[in-house]
């Protein structure tokens, strides 16, 4: 196997006596879509927070492209190409879809845009932002105020904002949550397109989507990884099936 793009080594997070992620070891290969599934409260969101730098870990290491990034801040991780999609709550409803993405492009580009005149700067920003919107299938909705987009379109906009940071790896926390059937199909198609050029770590409760998109799946139960394998093998794994009894159906 190639050198992993992202490697979690013995990662752990606890709140007092409650151990939320416990000795987590996961390797994400370049180009793969690696899903992390698990019953409610298994620690999936906490793990994404630890990887993105939103939450410090109690122990363990996070290696990204061979570098130990465990002590880096969230912006430093984004700079290195490790981004998470921003939640709907971070979208500015009064600004158009294009402006939302352009702001994210500007944040990434920092000073490099200062040297352009205003008009050309705006053209460059908008051009890059339009590319991101095009990738998620929202180009036709670029001028609509974000607050007027449907729920599914807002989730696509979150993806575009994530893409604006030019990531090598995108962390996605439940991108299908709250979407209807048609909308979720659109987001799945977008993810299928993105996975051809990006490495993706996906947390998702929609098992149909997970099993159709993922190259490999890690299963987290009570903060521990009980299996990492292809979707077919994970689905057939008796420990995984037992962990899911009474939970979401494993399709
Ligand atoms: N700040 C916190 N303080 C104390 N306990 C917390 C905190 N954040 C999360 N937890 C606990 O950690 C456990 C894992 O939560 P987490 O949200 O990571 O799980 P999850 O797998 O993402 O769940 P879900 O699938 O329901 O979103 C839960 O028992 C939760 O109550």
Helix (H) or strand (E) holding 117: none
Q: Is the pLDDT of residue 115 over 50?
A: no
**CA 182 vs CA 152, 157, 179: distances in Å:** 9, 16, 8
Contact status, residue 216 vs residue 230, Cβ threshold 8 Å: yes
| 56 pLDDT tier (thresholds 50, 70, 90) | very high
User: pLDDT tens digits, residue range 190-247?
Assistant: 999 999 889 999 999 899 999 999 999 999 999 999 999 999 999 999 999 998 865 5
Ligand 1: centre distance to CA 130 (Å) = 36
Token pair listed for 16: 């007092």
Higher pLDDT, 72 or 89: 72
What residue owns the CA closest to ligand 1's atom 30? 41
Q: What is the mean pLDDT of residues 61-86?
A: 92
| Ligand 1 proximity of 223 Cβ (cutoff 6 Å) | no
| Ligand 1 proximity of 46 Cβ (cutoff 6 Å) | yes
Ligand 1: centre distance to CA 60 (Å) = 19
Q: Is the pLDDT of residue 118 over 70?
A: no
| 125 pLDDT tier (thresholds 50, 70, 90) | confident
Ligand 1: centre distance to CA 133 (Å) = 32
User: pLDDT tens digits, residue range 84-106?
Assistant: 876 566 789 999 999 999 988 88
pLDDT of residue 189: 92
Q: What is the mean pLDDT of residues 99-122?
A: 70
pTM, to two decimals: 0.90
Closest to 42 in 3D by CA, of 170, 231, 226: 226
Average pLDDT, the chain: 90
Looking at the predicted complex, does its ipTM rise above 0.85? yes
Please provide the DSSP assignment of 127-171 as one string. HHHHHHHHHTT-GGGTTSBGGGS-HHHHHHHHHHHHHTT--SEEE
Ligand 1: centre distance to CA 40 (Å) = 8
| Ligand 1 proximity of 16 Cβ (cutoff 6 Å) | no
Within the chain, all domains assigned CATH 3.40.50.300 are found at 1-81+168-251
Q: What is the CATH number of domain 1-81+168-251?
A: 3.40.50.300
Name the one residue in this structure whose structure tokens are 């991108």: 175
* Ligand 1 binding pocket mutation candidate from 21, 41, 44 (most atoms within 8 A of CB): 41
């Amino acid at each position: 196997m190639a050198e992993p793009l992202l490697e979690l080594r013995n990662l752990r997070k606890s709140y007092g006596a409650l151990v939320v992620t416990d000795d987590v070891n996961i390797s994400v290969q370049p180009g793969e879509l690696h899903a992390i599934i698990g019953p409610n409260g298994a620690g999936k969101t906490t793990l994404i927070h630890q990887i993105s730098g939103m939450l410090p870990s109690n122990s363990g290491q996070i290696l990204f492209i061979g570098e130990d990034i465990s002590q880096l801040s969230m912006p430093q991780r984004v700079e290195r190409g490790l981004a998470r999609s921003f939640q709907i709550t971070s979208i500015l409803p009064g600004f158009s879809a294009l402006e939302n993405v352009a702001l994210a492009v500007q944040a990434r580009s920092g000073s490099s845009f200062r040297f352009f005149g205003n008009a050309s700067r705006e053209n460059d920003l908008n051009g890059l932002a339009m590319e991101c919107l095009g990738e998620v299938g929202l180009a036709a909705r670029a001028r609509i105020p974000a607050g007027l987009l449907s729920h599914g379109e807002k989730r696509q906009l979150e993806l575009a904002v994530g893409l604006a940071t030019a990531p090598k790896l995108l962390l996605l926390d439940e991108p299908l949550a709250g979407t209807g059937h048609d909308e979720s199909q659109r987001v799945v198609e977008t993810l299928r397109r993105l996975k051809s050029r990006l490495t993706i770590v996906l947390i998702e409760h929609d098992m149909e989507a997970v099993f159709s998109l993922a190259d490999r799946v890690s299963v987290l139960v009570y903060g521990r990884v009980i299996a990492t394998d292809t979707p077919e093998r994970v689905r057939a794994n008796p420990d995984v099936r037992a962990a899911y009894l009474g939970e979401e159906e494993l399709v």
